[in-house]
Amino acid sequence: MDIGWVSRPRGLRGEVWVTAYSDQPERLLELRDFRLHSPRETRLLRRLGGHCSAGRLSLLFEGIADRTQAESLCGATLQIHRRDLPPLAEDEVFLADLMGLEARLADGRVVGRVEGVMELPAGPVLEIRARGLEALVPFHRRFVPRLDMAAAWLELDVPEGMIPEGMLDP
């Protein structure tokens, strides 16, 4: 499971800044083993240290001792095994798990399927597609009041005009 990507080196001792795909990047400091994946290579990395400050995550890996080695990691994706993730609270979900869910309105009309999740500064936005059309819906309790992961659907409560007419079931 992708959990972030290496954005740039931090300092001279091999530490790197990581852009985490999480609204709680500090939870990644509980993990020890990561897989680094890039077009050039895939390898295992063991975290030696790190910190999180103001939502920014910095990690230090075994075998990465200087800035030059840290630069070689830039742009690579960090992955972990799902089983290694810290447990979620009852009202939390992994954004990746929203992919493929059916999106419907409270009256039961199907809007489409979640085909993507954009992580924007204001919060995640669902990309819902159907019939060649797309709707962008903030993933927020106001717009997604119900979610049933077991039944693979979510309910939308959106203002008129947010969903193109052609997307809705007749």
Q: Tens of pLDDT along 116-165?
A: 998 887 889 999 999 999 999 999 999 999 999 999 999 999 999 999 98
User: Would you identify the CATH topology of the domain 2-84?
Assistant: Elongation Factor Tu (Ef-tu); domain 3 (2.40.30)
**Nearest CA-CA partner of 152 in 107, 108, 103:** 103
CATH 2.30.30.240 matches 95-167 = yes
Q: CB within 8 A of 52, min separation 6: which ones?
A: 25, 26, 28, 29, 58
Delimiting residues of CATH 2.30.30.240 domain(s) in the chain: 95-167
Delimiting residues of CATH 2.40.30.60 domain(s) in the chain: 2-84
7-48 pLDDT, tens digit per residue, is 999 999 999 999 988 778 888 898 999 999 999 899 999 999
Report how far apart the first and last C-alpha atoms of the chain are (Å, whole number). 38
